[in-house]
Structure 1
Amino acid sequence: MTEISWEDPFCGEGNNCFRIGTDSDGNAYIAVAGQEDTYLTDTREALATLIRDIKAGKADHLLP
């Protein structure tokens, strides 16, 4: 099993908190804080773009 190193949670204005993680192979992960066993994985660049869009309010419809 891949060991994921999670960063501190990023919390938006509501109760939506996300965590970004990476592994030793350079893969990136994103998960809802507290539910790190259920995550999405993609390239670090793709997830960074997603986070920037969420912060910019472009992806509010994706928030749980």
Structure 2
Amino acid sequence: MPDIVWEDPYCAESSNCFRVGTDAEGNAYIAVAGQEDAYLTDTREALRTLIRDIKAGKADHLL
């Protein structure tokens, strides 16, 4: 398992909390808080793009 440095959990109103993490290799990780052993990983840039798109409302149709 990679050495992941997790940020504090992010929790939206009445929904699941998730955590974002990074490692020394330049990879980014995202997981449901409390389930960090079942994460998704990609580059930091890909995660940054995902977060920007979510904030811009591009994923609202999925909710």
> What is the TM-score of this pair, normalised by structure 1?
0.78
Q: Identity rate of aligned residues, in percent?
A: 79
* CA-CA distance at 1:57 after TM superposition: 3.2
The corresponding residue for 1:16 is 16
* CA-CA distance at 1:13 after TM superposition: 2.3
Matched pairs, number: 62
In the alignment, structure 2 segments of 5+ residues that lack a partner are none
Q: Distance in 1 between matches of 2:33 and 2:56?
A: 20
Deviations 1:13-61 (A, max 9, x none): 2312111101111111011111100011001111112122223332241
Q: Distance in 1 between matches of 2:16 and 2:52?
A: 15
For residue 25 of structure 1, what is the amino acid of its counterpart? Answer: E
For residue 49 of structure 1, what is the amino acid of its counterpart? Answer: T
Relative to 1, partners in 2 of residues 1:13 and 1:49: Cα closer, same or farther, differing over 3 Å?
A: farther
- Cα RMSD over matched residues? 1.7
Highest CA radius of gyration, 1 or 2? 2
